[in-house]
């Protein structure tokens, strides 16, 4: 009898030890998940702990109202318990806050505005505002202020004139290089070999009947754009929408971003395009003189 109890007691100890070991291993795996230490987990579960937490944070940043646990879980397609655990972690990290009766969630101020007010991008937005706003008012079209950050195109601000086009812009522009004005402006700032790498093999995707799909035609267009100082598109990305863009530089001559002007193709006659282009180029020439933060942006414009 004693032997039977002894065997059962040993089995229980072994089970507890095994459970503790599994929990310890699981904890270590979670701790190293974001460092890429667990390669097999990332393959079998595309959304690990870090990815799930960021997904929740993205949902809360984009929403315009407080969200309940159930609505967040439904949006990110996770079960309630997992969503709650991640929300608690984000709350501890001051990235999420509970409001109302404590059953609704919002992104915290630090998540909504992560950049400090003296950050070069915030300084750029403030310092360029009078200059670019005047341009938008003068030409009566939408003007987009774009910075080149780490080889990508980041929207710093959008300036609209009354009755101008109201395009939607996310902060990270991912439009095609060969068919968008900011994309072509960015190509102008790149050496030829870098352009080819960004564009990839031809034919380039035809988004409309007007999209340029051959490297030779695009190269000819870029050469003409470089000579006149600005790029233009007409119905190449969206039918009925045209745009111009020109790069601006820091005081030492290095390109750090561009201004893009968007409007309806019907109003972009050849004569009007010339008028808009003249105002656009005048504005970009003034940028290094009136926006001192451009020099600080050079470290972000690494390509």
Q: What is the CATH number of the domain that holds 185?
A: 3.30.450.40
Same domain assignment for residues 100 and 142: no
* Of residues 194, 208, 281, the one with CA closest to residue 245: 281
Q: How many percent of the chain have pLDDT more than 90?
A: 76
Same domain assignment for residues 82 and 194: no
Our CA angle for 221, 142, 234, nearest 5°, is 30
Mean pLDDT (whole number) for 118-146: 96
Of the candidates 112, 131, 162, which is a domain's last residue? 112
Same domain assignment for residues 245 and 289: yes
Cβ atoms within 10 Å, residue 238:
17
Same domain assignment for residues 60 and 206: no
Q: What DSSP line would sit under 94-155, residue for residue?
A: TSEEEETTTTEEEE-HHHHS-S-TTSHHHHHHHHHHHHHHHHHHHHTSEEEEEEEETTEEEE
* Of residues 118, 173, 114, the one with CA closest to residue 149: 173
pLDDT reading at 4 higher than 50: no
Same domain assignment for residues 129 and 188: yes
Give the pLDDT confidence of 11-28 residue by residue, as tens digits.
Answer: 434 333 333 332 333 333
Q: Which residues of 7-36 are buried (b: 16+ CB within 10 A; e: fewer)?
A: eeeeeeeeeeeeeeeeeeeeeeeeeebeee
Mean pLDDT (whole number) for 133-140: 96
Same domain assignment for residues 209 and 283: yes
pLDDT reading at 152 higher than 90: yes
CATH number of the domain where residue 78 is located: 1.10.10.10
Domain housing 238: 120-297
Same domain assignment for residues 78 and 129: no
Q: How far apart are CA 240 and CA 233, in angstroms?
A: 11
SS3 74: helix
Res 303: pLDDT: 60
Q: How far apart are CA 96 and CA 32, in angstroms?
A: 23
Give the chain's domain count: 2
Same domain assignment for residues 50 and 196: no
């Amino acid at each position: 009898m004693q032997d039977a109890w002894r065997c059962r007691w040993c089995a229980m100890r072994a089970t507890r030890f095994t459970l503790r070991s599994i929990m310890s291993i699981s904890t270590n795996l979670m701790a190293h998940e974001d460092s890429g230490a667990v390669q097999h987990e990332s393959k079998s579960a595309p959304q690990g702990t870090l990815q799930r937490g960021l997904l929740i944070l993205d949902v809360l940043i984009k929403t315009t109202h407080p969200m309940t646990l159930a609505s967040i879980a439904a949006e990110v397609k996770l079960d309630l318990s997992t969503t709650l655990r991640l929300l608690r972690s984000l709350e501890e990290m001051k990235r999420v806050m509970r409001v109302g009766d404590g059953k609704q969630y919002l992104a915290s101020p630090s998540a909504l505005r992560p950049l400090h007010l003296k950050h070069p991008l915030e300084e750029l937005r403030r310092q360029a505002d009078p200059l670019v706003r005047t341009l938008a008012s003068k030409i009566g079209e939408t003007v987009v202020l774009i910075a080149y950050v780490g080889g990508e195109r980041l929207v710093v601000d959008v300036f609209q004139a009354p009755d101008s086009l109201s395009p939607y812009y996310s902060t990270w522009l991912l439009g095609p290089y060969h068919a968008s004005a900011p994309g072509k402006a960015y190509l102008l700032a790149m050496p030829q070999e870098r352009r080819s790498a960004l564009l990839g093999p031809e034919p380039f995707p035809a988004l409309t009947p007007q999209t340029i799909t051959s490297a030779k035609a695009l190269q000819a267009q870029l050469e003409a754009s470089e000579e006149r100082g600005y790029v233009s598109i007409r119905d190449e990305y969206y039918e009925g929408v045209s745009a111009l863009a020109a790069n601006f530089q820091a005081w030492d001559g290095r390109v750090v971003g561009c201004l893009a002007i968007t409007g309806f193709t019907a109003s972009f006659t050849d004569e009007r395009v010339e008028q808009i282009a003249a105002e656009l180029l005048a504005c970009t020439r003034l940028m290094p003189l009136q926006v001192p933060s451009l020099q600080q942006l050079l470290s972000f414009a690494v390509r």
